[in-house]
């Protein structure tokens, strides 16, 4: 089960790119590509992936760099409508 905290901007971008590029298959990530697509530094991308893994949004093996997005967890992201109201 995921935490109720909101994702950071970098975490949101990384998980969206991972979903678009790798779908829900476990794959070895191309860190350069993810970094370029998210417009974030590689260190920030890795930090976001580690955080997403701690939250249960992805499975991450740092040795092999294999990541798998958990669709059910990503699709049930907490939504705060007040965030969009002005």
Residue spans per domain, the chain: 9-76
Partners of 27 in the β-ladder: 67
- Pick 85 or 13 by higher pLDDT: 13
CA 17/CA 84 separation, integer angstroms: 22
pLDDT in tens, 24-66: 789 999 999 999 999 999 999 999 999 999 988 899 998 999 9
pTM (2 d.p.):
0.77
pLDDT of residue 1: 47
- The domain made up of 9-76 has a fold known as Arc Repressor Mutant, subunit A (1.10.10)
The pair phi, psi for residue 73, each rounded to 5°, is: -70, -40
pLDDT of residue 45: 96
């Amino acid at each position: 089960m995921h935490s109720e905290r909101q994702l950071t901007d970098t975490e949101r971008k990384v998980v969206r790119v991972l979903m678009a590029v790798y779908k829900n298959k476990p794959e070895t990530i191309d860190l350069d590509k993810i970094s370029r697509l998210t417009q974030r530094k590689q260190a920030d991308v890795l930090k976001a992936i580690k955080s997403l893994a701690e939250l249960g949004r992805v499975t991450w093996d740092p040795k092999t760099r294999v990541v798998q997005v958990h669709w059910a967890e990503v699709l049930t992201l907490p939504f705060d409508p007040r965030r969009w109201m002005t």
